[in-house]
Structures are given as structure tokens and as C-alpha cells.
Chains A and B, each alone.
Chain A
Amino acid sequence: MADAVVIAEPPIWRLFPDRVATFCLVELQKLRHDRTEMFTRAVQPVLWLVIFGQTFNRLHAIPTGGIPYLDFLAPGVIAQSGMFVAIFYGIQIVWERDAGVLTKLLVTPTPRSALIIGKAFAAGIRSIIQVVVVLILSVVLGVTLTENPLRILGAFVVVVMGSAFFACLSMTIAGVVLKRDRLIGIGQMITMPLFFASSALYPVAIMPSWLQALSRVNPLSYEVDALRGLLIDAPSHLWLDIGVLAFSVVVGIMASSLLVGRLAR
């Protein structure tokens, strides 16, 4: 090997995108080598769409403003499956800590916030792959989705933002709880309430007021709203949704960056 020359610190505007790209690339490589999770994680959305969705589609029990219930539900299930993937992905940081990989990552010239952002967007990549599966399934079931490629691209951006937030949420919890057996329980404890306290399954208007209040502070609701607007052209508040998601992502990144060091101790 030639003489060791110390590599200069790249400017921050290059370092961060570079780290994010690295973590996303590694995620894709891992997915290529092990696809089982992609299929096992497709089971739940299939159940929601095929059984729950098709049944309620016939009942006409939920007022959706003239939209077929299955169409109404599809963006909700897309957001939900992305969220499940992201929350589980964030929890995995504790496995990485137990396996020593995290220790080595923390000794590379990667600021903690860049590590977190990289992981958050890698979770987004995993979610996107999952979401493509649900999108295809929705089309097969007869959901009328937009054919505008820009809107579909927009939906992917929204899914990545939502997933980045939920990954940060679970990494933050991981940084507090630290123990993996406790984390699995907490992961399961938060996913269903987040799902039910959102507009994924039913419109906010028919919720009791306490649930409406919860739904209003739940980023999943804003993700679902944005996806409905983009994918099935339902009335939505796209810019508000994106604003709330962006804000949540920033807060999530700051919180988990502060806590991730605890995992190294």
C-alpha cells in the first residue's frame, strides 16, 4: 500500500448528501441479497386492502365524500405500510449496536446527525420498495390511481418524508430505551395506535373529538392526506401536509441525533 495521505474533510454541503447516498445504496444492496422481508411485509397491506377494504367497499358504511372506499383506503394503507417498515427499521439500530456495527459507524468521520439522516432516508428507500408493492396491488384490485408520473413521484417524496420521520421516532425511542426486548414491545405498542389515530381508515370528520385531537398531532394523518390528494385526487391540503412532515422530520432528526451517542456506551 502506498503512503497514507489523510483525506481532507469535504465541505458540509457535500458530506451530508454523500453519507445519505451511501446509506441508501447499502440498503438497496442488502435488499438485493435478502428479499424475504419485502414479501413478509406485504402480507399485512394485502389483508387490509383485500379483506377490510373490499368488505367496507360493499357496506358503504364510511362517508368518504363519494369516493369508493377502496380508493379512499389505498393511500391510507400505503402510508401505514411505509410507517411499519420505517418504525421497524429504526428499531434495528439497537441490533446494529448489539452486533457492534454501530460502534464502527460512529468511529468513521460521519457526524451523528449525518448518520441519523442517512438511516432515516435508507428507511425511506425500504418503504418505497414496499409501497410499490401496495400500489401494484391497489391497481389490481381496481383502485383508480393517478396516471400523472409527477404526482406518483410526489407521492414517493411524501412516503420518504413520512418514513424518515417514523424511523427517527423509533431511533429516538431506541436511544432512550436501549434494550432490544423492551423495544420490540414498544414498537408494537405504538404502530397500531398511530394507525388508528390517523385518517388512514376513516375521515377525521367522523371521529370522536378526542381522537380528532390525536389525529391532528399525528404526522401519519398528514401523510395520508397528502397521498390522497396526489394519488386519487381527493381534496387535500398538500402544502400544509408537506410543511408538517418536513417540520416533523427535522425535529425527529435533531432528537435522535442527540440520543444516538447513548447507544455507543
Chain B
Amino acid sequence: MPDAGPALLIEGLRHRFGEHAAVDGIDLRIEQGEIFGLLGPNGAGKTTTIRVLNTLLPIQEGRIEILGHDVRRDPMGVRRRIGYVPQQLSIESTLTGRENVTWFARLFDVPRKERTVRVDDALGVMGLGEVADRLAGTYSGGMVRRLELAQALVNRPRVLVLDEPTVGLDPVARDGVWQRVEELQEATGMTVLLTTHYMEEAELLCDRIALMHLGRIKAEGSPAELKRELGPDATLDDVFRHSTGGSLDGAEGARGIREIRRTRRTAGRVG
């Protein structure tokens, strides 16, 4: 049963925490099969947007559809169609890699007779076949992240949602994650929505990007389009500075450092 419509449709989304509007009226349309990047500094509202569209937070104002399924009316239908990897490295360290993935296969109601094959597939695609029966607590940060991708993929989602998938990883592990996401997208044609604040990554990987700042979308288009508008030698960093009046690095305040530290701590604990 193919789902019609765009992979993601957001209309007039607003989300407040008390007085503070974390997401301040955004519209977004992502077609099926795109790799779409949501870019911006910490505190731009990327994670809140993700947490509303994946049903973790209630929709306060606005409307979201995923593959034609209204997130407010049919949260279960939405959950069955998306794979989600949160920013924080999070696996069960006293289970093996395989057990971690099988657990999620069960939670997504993967039929018993397909389960073993799908779990092996997901682990294999993420390059974890060899270490699948080791305790996940012995994995490195990059392996944990790939294990989480395997957990999200075991359901064969139509839309893969990745929140800052490479924060806290070393460059080699980061490349490993991106390369696999790209291969996977090519092989399956699934839609990938990711957030990041690494401009160069977004530029290499994404078909289209949206620049987010203070809860609003400031610019949207393919990386090439966005740069062309500014001039021949413009970089995405320039685009960002131009459309927000601030630099991406400079916008990283105390909160950013704390978050990175937290991610590192988690990585240390699980890896």
C-alpha cells in the first residue's frame, strides 16, 4: 500500500515552552525520496520541530502530515512509517547489538518469520554483522550510532528522521555514518530528514536544506541554489550569515557546550 502525498508537510507550526516560542511559525514541504537537511545553531528549534513531527510532543498550533497521515489524528500510523534516531546516543548497554535490534523489531510488530532476516539485514547494512553478539556496552560511539540506525531501519521506514546524527563522533565515525545513510537512501529511495549544524556535511549529503534560526526558517533550497543567490564564491556559512545576521559558530552559546558535553558523557557511558 503506497502512501500518497509528500513525505512531510508542515503548515504554520508553532511550539511554545512557557513564554518562549521554540518554533515560531514554520512551513515545510519535503518530497518522497529527498535527503533534506534542517540546519541551524543550537536553540534554533530544529529538535523541537523533530519532536513534534515524530509524536513525542503534542502539536500546539499548526498541522503536520507525514505521507498523507495527519500526525495529530493518526500518531500510530505515523510511528509505523518513520524511523527515528535521537540526538543522544541511546542503546541498552546490557543487551547485545542483535538483542537491541530484535527488541525494536518486536516493538514494530515485524512478523516472527521475517524477524531474523530483517535484523541480520539491518545489522549488516550498518556494518555490525561481525560484532552483533557483543554487548552494546562495549561499542564505540560510532558503532552505537550505527546500531541505533539499525534499530530504526529494522522497520524499513519510509521516512528516516535523524536528529544531529554525528554530534560527538570523531571524523572517521562521522564519515562512516554519513556514507551508510547515503548508500541506504540510494538503495531504498526512502526519505531522509536530518538536522545538523555541520554546514559542510549538509552540503555534501542533502538534496535540499532549510536554514533555521530562532524558531523560523530563514532560507530554503538546494545548497547550490542558496549559494548562487549570494555570488560565485559564497559558502553555506555565508548564506547562513546573510540570512540570519549571525554566524553559525558564533551562535553556539553556553547551551551548545553543555549539550555537547552531555552527548560525550553518554557516549562514554555506553561506549
Contacts and interface: CB of A to CB of B under 8 A. Distances in A.
Interface of A: 1-2, 4-7, 9-10, 15, 18-19, 22, 25-26, 29-30, 33-34, 99-101, 103-111, 264-265
Given A1-B187, A6-B80, A104 B151 contact: yes
Interface string B76-100: 1101111011111111101110010
Contacts of A108: 79, 104, 107-108
Given A7-B108, A34-B94, A103-B56, A1 B82 contact: no
Contacts of B88: 99-100, 103
B156 interface: yes
B108 A107 contact: no
A99 B57 CA distance: 18
Chain B CB within 10 Å, residue with most, of A7, A15, A109, A110: A109
Interface residues of B, number: 51
B1 interface: yes
Contacts of B266: 99-100
Given A6-B80, A33-B135, A100-B86, A18 B188 contact: no
Shortest Cβ-Cβ A-B pairs, 5 listed? A100-B90, A100-B88, A108-B107, A4-B156, A22-B106
B110 A6 contact: no
B175 interface: no
B79 A109 contact: yes
B196 interface: no
Given A100-B266, A107-B82, A29 B99 contact: yes
Nearest to B188: A1
Nearest to A265: B57
A19 B107 contact: yes
B226 to A, nearest CB: 30
Contact of A7 (B84, B99, B109, B121): B109
B169 interface: no
Given A106-B56, A108-B79, 17 more contacts: A5-B1, A7-B155, A9-B77, A10-B109, A26-B92, A26-B95, A30-B94, A100-B88, A100-B266, A101-B90, A101-B92, A104-B84, A104-B104, A105-B107, A107-B56, A110-B107, A264-B57
B157 interface: yes
Interface in B88-144: 88-92, 94-96, 99, 103-104, 106-111, 121, 125, 135
Contacts of B99: 26, 29
A264 B47 CA distance: 13
A116 to B, nearest CB: 14
A100 B165 CA distance: 14
Contact of B76 (A4, A34, A109): A109
Contacts, number: 104
Given A4-B188, A7-B155, A103 B108 contact: no
Nearest to A100: B90
22 contacts: A1-B153, A2-B156, A4-B157, A5-B1, A7-B108, A7-B109, A9-B76, A18-B106, A18-B109, A26-B92, A26-B95, A26-B99, A30-B95, A103-B56, A103-B88, A104-B148, A106-B56, A107-B56, A108-B104, A109-B76, A110-B107, A111-B76
A4 B185 CA distance: 12
A9 B74 CA distance: 12
B28 to A, nearest CB: 19
A131 to B, nearest CB: 21
Contact of B92 (A15, A18, A30, A106): A30
B125 to A, nearest CB: 7
Contacts of B151: 104
Contact of B80 (A9, A18, A101): A9
A207 B190 CA distance: 66
B190 A29 contact: no
A1 B188 CA distance: 7
A25 B106 CA distance: 11
B32 to A, nearest CB: 11
A109 B107 contact: yes
B216 interface: no
B86 A103 contact: yes
B86 A109 contact: no
Contacts of B55: 106-107
B86 A1 contact: no
A104 to B, nearest CB: 6
A5 B91 contact: no
B83 to A, nearest CB: 9
Nearest to A15: B109
Given A1-B121, A1-B188, A104-B151, A109 B80 contact: yes
Given A26-B95, A30-B92, A5 B103 contact: no
B158 A6 contact: yes
A80 B80 CA distance: 40
B125 A1 contact: yes
A107 B1 contact: no
